[in-house]
Homo-oligomer: A and B are copies of this chain.
Amino acid sequence: MSETEFDPAHGEPVAETNLDEDDRLKPEFVASVIAHVEAGDDEGARALVAPLHPADIADLFELVPGEMRRPLAAAIADRLDGDVLSEMNEWVRDELIEALAPHEVAEIATQLDTDDAVAIIEELDDDEQRAVLRAMEPDDRAAIEEALSYPEESAGRLMQRDLIAVPEHWMVGDVLDYLRSNEDLTTDFWEIFVVDGRHHPVGTCNLSWILRTPRAIAIADVMKREQTLIPVDMDQEEVALRFQKYALISAAVVDQAGRLVGMITVDDIVHIIQEEAGEDILKLSGAGDGDINEPVKDSYKARVRWLLANLLTALVASTIIGVFEGTIAKMVALATLMPIVAGVGGNAGTQTMAVTVRALATNQLTQSNTMRAIVREIRIALLNGATVAAVIGTGVALVFGNAGLGAVIAAAMMTNIVIAGLAGVLVPVTLDRMDVDPAVSSSIFVTMITDSMGFLAFLGLATATGLAG
């Protein structure tokens, strides 16, 4: 070790690292593993994979071609454990799990925390689920079945049942003795929960506070009484927002009666925060789950539905143009210019919509400041509209040598950008008030409005002013 250069990023000799500067497995490494597996050299493949973190082994399965995944799994079977599976993309995981016998899945699930086991088992068909559950120990099985009884994407499915709860009358010393003398307690926890006689949480205690307190002090004097409790049926997106807002490391989960039934830790939440924040862009574009590992037919189904809806809204715009066919026939230049008005308006609408959707998703935009947000967007739209209208109006007037045409396109552009700003904030806010996810359907409406209004304003003004006359 002293011979090789020290790599501060991993505390390992540089020569051994298989990751690039962004923590991604290097293509050469992936290719080398594939070559070993294809050559039937399982031992060589295992040696390559040996130093990898479970998260990197999961990535490896995602990076090799689909048809290589099962041979790779067979070659490095001893490393394909619960830790690797719980880090794996769900589509890739399902593909591998389908190839396993129920008792193999049961064995893997038994090694995991309840929440990770549930994440694997909930994706199976009902038949497979039953087969796997039958193959599990009664204790583990009961925990999983209970978790599955909660709604999908709820706190009940995310939580772990293994936690440390102590009575409120204990001293710090009692807690230390309890932790040291009970072999079968969980080993990974960040806070302990203090409960009353009804098993209701009354406080939370960071481990660091316990470590810094003498044995004879009451735990009730060390704990924090203000705590954030998560109802067991809370949606995971709300759980994620709450963790983020209050900077939580772990939180107690309580049932309807207020009893402590589980704990959620931040490491289970981080990927939900990332997914929920990242999926708005996929929803706004109608790309469905938007996962590059999703089977082609699922992606096709999600996306074509959106394109067909878009086709319908395009027909509305098209119908509006149709009304002005007479005007266009007299002055074909209008057909050349009209997509500019619609297109730039569409972009202005998308900008406002993106800002509004993010502000709604992060709870920054509420009833208290909606009116202010609308006024703000109108002011920005007026400035944007004036600038863009001046540029395009002057340009068209000069190029076409037609001041009237320049004035008409400038007025239409101004109108459409202001309408776009209004639609970009009003459509998502209205959908949100109606309890419809604004990220899913806003863009269809906003695009329809900016397209139609762009054509209507431009062709309508051209007709009304007798420009093409």
Question: Which A residues fall within an 8 A CB radius of B?
Answer: 6, 8-11, 22-25, 27, 30-31, 53, 55, 59, 62-65, 89, 176, 179-180, 185, 187-190, 200-201, 206-214, 226-231, 234, 238, 241-249, 254-256, 258, 266-267, 269-271, 273-275, 277-278, 280-282, 284-287, 290-293, 296-297, 299-300, 303-304, 306-308, 310-311, 314-315, 317-318, 321-322, 325, 328-329, 332-333, 335-340, 342-344, 347-348, 350-359, 361-369, 372-373, 376, 379-380, 383-384, 387-388, 391-392, 417, 447, 451, 455
Q: Are B376 and A292 in contact (CB under 8 A)?
A: yes
Q: Are A281 and B357 in contact (CB under 8 A)?
A: yes
| Listed A/B pairs (11) with beta-carbon separation below 8 Å | A9-B230, A10-B228, A27-B368, A180-B212, A273-B277, A282-B358, A287-B352, A292-B376, A297-B383, A304-B384, A310-B347
Q: Are A187 and B207 in contact (CB under 8 A)?
A: no
Q: Are A314 and B188 in contact (CB under 8 A)?
A: no
Q: Which residue of B lies closest to A228 (CB)?
A: B10
Q: How far is the CA of A297 from the CA of B306 in the complex (A)?
A: 35
Which single member of B286, B290, B343, B417 contacts A358 (CB below 8 Å)? B290
Which single member of B291, B310, B366 contacts A25 (CB below 8 Å)? B366
Tell me which residues across on chain B come within 8 A of A304, comparing CB atoms.
383-384, 387-388
Which single member of B10, B27, B367 contacts A367 (CB below 8 Å)? B27
Knowing A280-B281, A290-B358, say if A384 contacts B300 (CB, 8 Å): yes
Q: Are B362 and A311 in contact (CB under 8 A)?
A: no
4 more CB-based (< 8 A) A-B contacts, given A8-B258, A339-B339: A65-B372, A281-B354, A282-B354, A287-B355
Q: Which residue of B lies closest to A345 (CB)?
A: B307
In the complex, how many angstroms separate the beta carbon of A127 from the nearest chain B beta carbon? 29
A-B interface, 4 closest residue pairs, ranked by CB to CB distance from nearest? A277-B277, A207-B207, A335-B335, A247-B267
Knowing A208-B188, A351-B306, say if A62 contacts B343 (CB, 8 Å): no
Tell me which residues across on chain B come within 8 A of A282, comparing CB atoms.
354-355, 358
Q: How far is the CA of A292 from the CA of B368 in the complex (A)?
A: 13
Q: Are B368 and A25 in contact (CB under 8 A)?
A: yes
Q: Are A366 and B311 in contact (CB under 8 A)?
A: no
Knowing A317-B343, A380-B299, say if A311 contacts B391 (CB, 8 Å): yes
Which single member of B227, B234, B286 contacts A11 (CB below 8 Å)? B227
Q: Which residue of B lies closest to A253 (CB)?
A: B8
Tell me which residues across on chain B come within 8 A of A185, comparing CB atoms.
212
Q: Are B387 and A308 in contact (CB under 8 A)?
A: yes
Q: Are B281 and A266 in contact (CB under 8 A)?
A: no
In the complex, how many angstroms separate the beta carbon of A61 from the nearest chain B beta carbon? 11
Q: Which residue of B lies closest to A238 (CB)?
A: B22
Q: Which residue of B lies closest to A373 (CB)?
A: B292
Q: Which residue of B lies closest to A365 (CB)?
A: B292
In the complex, how many angstroms separate the beta carbon of A344 from the nearest chain B beta carbon? 5
Tell me which residues across on chain B come within 8 A of A208, comparing CB atoms.
179, 187-190, 207
In the complex, how many angstroms separate the beta carbon of A242 from the nearest chain B beta carbon? 6
Tell me which residues across on chain B come within 8 A of A244, comparing CB atoms.
270-271, 274
Q: Are B351 and A303 in contact (CB under 8 A)?
A: yes
Which single member of B31, B179, B373 contacts A368 (CB below 8 Å)? B31
Q: How far is the CA of A281 from the CA of B428 in the complex (A)?
A: 15
Knowing A228-B10, A274-B244, A388-B304, say if A318 contacts B292 (CB, 8 Å): no
Knowing A228-B10, A266-B249, say if A296 contacts B23 (CB, 8 Å): no
Q: How far is the CA of A329 from the CA of B328 in the complex (A)?
A: 8
Which single member of B322, B353, B388 contacts A307 (CB below 8 Å)? B388
